[in-house]
Structure 1
Amino acid sequence: MDRVRCISSWSMAAEGGIHFDDAAAPEGMRLYAVGDIHGCYDLMVEMHRRIMAEIIEERPPDWRIIYLGDYVDRGPASRQVIEFLSRTTASDPRVVALGGNHDVGFLEFLMEPMPDGMFANYGGTTTARSYGVEMAFHPLEALERSAQALRDMIPQAHMDFLRGLKLSASFGDYFFCHAGIKPGVPLEAQSAEDLIWIRDLFLSHVQLHSKVIVHGHTPVPRPEILPNRVNLDTGAFHSGRLSAMMFEGKRKRLLGVGR
């Protein structure tokens, strides 16, 4: 069904707020948002193929595909994911890749390797392995050697892609980011840290925002559709399911691919 309604019966009256059921994409533009990838190249490519097949067949006047971040770590094919997205976003600006905390953490590790940071503790080993490098995080001499080996294996185009990731995008009544927003702060004034890291304060907020927030970051068993936000992170690495949503006018439709 094209019409997807929110799963909550919350009664929310927020001045100027937008409810999911009433939110609309810009006139003449179809939007697709895709949840966290985490090195699951096979699922991402299949989702992208399905979306592009719809676009080619149905020929909307304009369109965007918005990836919500966390392309690396945990899954086996981070290198392939970055290669695909770096080429695709460079060749067509209608494909938009936003940065997630793991993507920023990967770049920070390359700049200043740490033995106990996010990259070391939350899946960076598989990212390095996808570039042909076996990481050693201890002792510090081994960390420096393996980090330099990893730097040597990463194409410049991949570094440029990571450095160029934006942290949010806005189209019509929707605001897209990786993690969420700090309630009460204007969308244009959100901090980088909140856009890629926030959880509890955002997830527990029950009032409408000025736009519906479309995000990932916090894995859920199935897409979470609430009056003020949509969570599309269905834990692709753990679940084998990658989720997306299409927005066109006031129509909304879920898409999913799985192993």
Structure 2
Amino acid sequence: MKTVDFKHARGPDKLRVYAIGDVHGRLDLLQAMHRRILAENEKSPPFDWVVIHLGDYVDRGPDSKGVLDLLVNLQKNTHRMLALAGNHDVGLLEFLETGDAYGLFARNGGRQTALSYGVSIEFNDPDSVAAGQKALVEAMPPSHIQFLRGLQRSIVFADFFFCHAGIRPGVDLDHQDPDDLIWIRWEFLENPRLHPKVIVHGHTPVSDVDKRPNRVNLDTGAYASGRLSAIAIDVDQKFFLEAVV
């Protein structure tokens, strides 16, 4: 099996690829990162460019609604803004469908997401959960739900494979379990083997961008750290960007 390491990995010709880590309701940081990217393009104009958002747009931070508003509107107006699914994005959809008071959404920042839509939910109160689920379904614009349902689990550009959490080592990239792509952690993170592509991911917060021969972790815990990180891949050049507010 052919493998590649970060040092030798190349992006596509005539296309600069940006990837942004977990946002978690930090609209301010996402807007700042988009400005950084536009400034980088002005400073060093690419032939063409795209931005990949690696998922987890909602929960924990203060403005999940604003983040989804921004991404939905950007995708209406440009083909350059790509978005992948994170486990929290899928967890929101599951709560809307099931009202599970013990799922990911309920236990990991869903209250902040609901509040951004004007809905208050007390997850230790079954009546509040039931009423809150109904209210949130009514409060969320259909375009937001459609956006979340349409998110891809992965995308490939040249020598790089982009997903939210990582891959199952040893499994062909074309046959990865969709749940692994948004949930896997230590089986992937602790495996040093090279893969057919360099994996660019988020999902597991780190204090600084974690660049390794086989993978790059861009999740610098934006909702708590106030730092949103991204990578730029321009053929054989790779560099990192950070947005701080």
| TM-score bracket for this pair, using the shorter chain length | over 0.9
Q: Tell me which of 107, 124, 127 is aligned to 1:141.
A: 127
1:26-55 CA deviation, whole Å, 9 max, x = no partner? 111101010000001100000011102322
Alignment-derived partner of residue 51 in structure 1? 37
Per-residue CA deviations over 1:187-231 (Å, capped at 9, x if unaligned) read: 111111100000010001111000000000000000000000000
Secondary structure at the aligned position of 2:23 is classed as: coil
**Counterpart check, 1:220 vs 2:223:** no
* Separation in 1, partners of 2:69, 2:186: 33
Matched with 1:77 is 63
Residues 55, 85 of structure 2: 8 Å contact kept: yes
| 1:106-156, Cα deviation, whole Å (9 max, x unpaired) | 011001111111111100000000000101324433311111111111001
Is structure 2 residue 222 aligned with structure 1 residue 231? no
SS class of match (2:7)? helix
Instruction: Kindly indicate whether the alpha-carbon contact (under 8 Å) linking 2:36 and 2:243 is maintained by their aligned counterparts in 1.
Output: no
Do 2:3 and 2:195's aligned partners in 1 also have CA atoms closer than 8 Å?
yes
- Provide the rounded CA distance (Å) in 2 between the counterparts of 1:224 and 1:141: 43
2:143 is the alignment partner of 1:157:
yes
Residues 227, 242 of structure 2: 8 Å contact kept? yes
C-alpha distance in 1, partners of 2:173/2:47?
27
Distance 1:28 1:139 in 2: 54
Paired position in structure 2 for 1:40: 26
Structure 1 residue identity aligned to 2:186: D
Q: How far apart are the structure 2 equivalents of 1:196 and 1:89? A: 22
TM-score (norm 1): 0.92
Cα shift at 1:57? 4.5
> Which residue identity does 1:243 align to in structure 2?
S
Range moving further from structure 2, 116-125 or 139-148: 139-148
Q: Which residue of 2 aligns with 1:127?
A: 113
**Number of equivalent positions:** 245
Aligned twin of 1:188: 174
- Once residues 91 and 110 of structure 1 are traced to their aligned partners in structure 2, the CA distance between those partners, rounded to angstroms, is 27
Unaligned runs of 5+ in 2: none
Distance in 2, matches of 1:180 and 1:133, equals 33
TM-score, normalised on structure 2? 0.97
Aligned to 2:232: 246
Match of 2:13 in 1: 27
Percent identity between the two aligned chains: 50
Q: Which runs of 5+ in 1 are unaligned?
A: 1-14
Letter of the 1:238 counterpart: A
Aligned partner letter, 1:214: V
Alignment of 1:7-26 (within 5 A): 15-26=1-12
Aligned with residue 63 of structure 1, among 35, 46, 49: 49
Root-mean-square deviation (CA, aligned residues, Å) is 1.0
> Which of 95, 99, 116 lines up with 2:81 in the alignment?
95
One-letter amino acid matched to 1:252:
K
d(CA) in 2 for partners of 1:161 and 1:142? 26
1:70 Cα deviation after fit:
0.3
Residue 197 in 1 paired to residue 222 in 2? Answer: no
Which whole-Å CA distance do the structure 2 matches of 1:20 and 1:141 have between them? Answer: 51
